[in-house]
Amino acid sequence: MKRVLISDAVDRKAADLFINAGYIVRYAPGISKEELNKIIHDFHALVVRSETKVDEALIEKMHNMEVIGRAGTGVDNIDVEAATRKGIVVMNTPGGNTISTAEHAMSLMLSMCRNIPQADASIKAGRWDRKLYKGSELHGKTLGVIGMGKIGREVAARARGFGMEVVGYDPLLTPEASARIGVKLVELDEIYNLSDIITVHVPLDDTTKHLINKVTLTKCKPGVKIINCARGGIVNESDLVDAINEGKVSGAALDVYEKEPPDFSHPVFHNPKIVTTPHLGASTEEAQEKVALQIAEQIISYFSSNIIDGAVNASSLQALSNARLSPYVRLAESMGMFLAQISEGKIKKIRINHYGELLAESNGLIASAAARGFLCKRQGEPVNLINSVLFAREAGIEIEEIYSISHPDYTNLLYIEFHSDKGLNTAGGAVFGNSALRIVSVNEYRIEFVPQGEMIVYTNVDKPGRLATVSSLLAKRNINVAGISLGRTGMGEEALTVVCIDGEVEKSLTGEISGIDGVKRVYPVKFSYE
């Protein structure tokens, strides 16, 4: 029975959903770091918000963990790379707080432009400062939206409702898609040059860290206003304060900070032109209930049906739900396993050639499967579809995928190449019917066999008697032959033989086969993850 730990203040309805699905749940918001380290090894799923820091040290103690779920958008409190290495799926709920965050961005925009927090504090202090807090209208102003994802698009729609002109920047959005939502797509420098107000809605990574800084602020229109409801660190807080003091920026509104809880001695919290809120973007009753239920449903679907939704480190695994594609995933693993056992030397590159429209839908899953098949025979630590490509690349192996719409002989065909410092080995594979896996070529040989069980693979000069001699050696050891497949380049030339057997291939047996006149290379092959 699966055990789920909820370590942050996630809506209790998530716990109820897990319990009703038959899981054992510990609801422990506010659990100490020491206690968390003690018990984490018992759990199969962990649900967090932003309070629990799921770092590499904690992940190393996760001996049974299969999935970490973040009830919210960002995952910067989770070491995704460490989780990937451990083979743990990391999920979030990117759409659950879209509306609440977009509305909060608009609230900050209005508060900043109309000086609402300052005026509220003034009147509660017994002052009537009408002239002091004269604001500015949104109507007719240009809003620059950096990041046109779900939240950015919702902000843009609301801003247009206020009569604002909206320009947006997003490297993934096409001008046509942008035009459909009434936003002019521009380059990043144009955002700075054109905008009266700039709002950021991008994730925090190496490319967006301190995106708004001293240099970019000098490119902005005089009197620009800055809003950050996304992630702390996108705006350089010290540079922002300096720009306000210099008169370059006329106001700012921040809901997120580089350090949370922040250092309240920082000038950003004492500047009267900066509106601040304590990370309230997703803090509505509706949003918190929505993300709690959403992450619980995603984890339950993963455990019960192997359906992966909202994964940040295993998005390709969502293709597993495609019943037509899943046999090719098993085939790719088998082919990777086969090539690993017949290849010599250090593997430098794995190239996966996809032929057919179906395989174009694999979204990297086939590559993960081929890498897993290879690494299970070469890697000491557990390998799965989540961490296989990471492990391969860390080992210095280049993973390359090539897609072609059609193949002259097969509707869908996998052709995998293993490039090593000692040569090239290849295999072609297809699925017959709904689930019959077949390897249909090995190197230059056209051959057909089922990739399962144990087998002896060898090359030999194409002359009579070689197979009979091998069969005789097997018979002496009481090893039954389950099937034989033959391929050759031409009469009397080199041939490839695959002998499927019932039993194990001992090292002494391969040595004897190698000693047969005309036999060149012998490889024992076993299809298993033992």
Active site residues: 231, 260, 279
Contacts of 397 (CB under 8 A, 6+ apart): 347, 348, 349, 350, 371
Alpha-carbon span 407 to 391, nearest angstrom: 31
Given strand 423-432, what is the order of strands in its sheet? 398-404, 347-355, 413-420, 423-432, 436-442, 445-449
- The three-state DSSP-derived secondary structure of 254-322 is ECCCCCCCCCCCCHHHCCCCEEECCCCCCCCHHHHHHHHHHHHHHHHHHHHHCCCCCECCCHHHHHHHC
φ, ψ of residue 413 in degrees (nearest 5): -145, 135
| Other CB atoms within 10 Å distance of the CB of residue 150 | 17
Alpha-carbon Rg for the chain, nearest whole angstrom, is 30
Q: What tokens were used for 126?
A: 């017994």
Beta-bridge partners for 249: 224
Alpha-carbon span 7 to 38, nearest angstrom: 13
Q: Which of 133, 42, 70 is nearest to 292 (CA)?
A: 70
Alpha-carbon span 9 to 6, nearest angstrom: 8
In 3-state terms, what secondary structure has residue 429?
strand
Alpha-carbon span 151 to 147, nearest angstrom: 8
Q: What tokens were used for 46?
A: 């962990």
Alpha-carbon span 163 to 166, nearest angstrom: 9
Alpha-carbon span 316 to 385, nearest angstrom: 9
Alpha-carbon span 91 to 67, nearest angstrom: 7
396: left (phi over 0), alpha (psi -120 to 50) or beta: left
Q: What tokens were used for 383?
A: 């390998």
Alpha-carbon span 275 to 265, nearest angstrom: 15
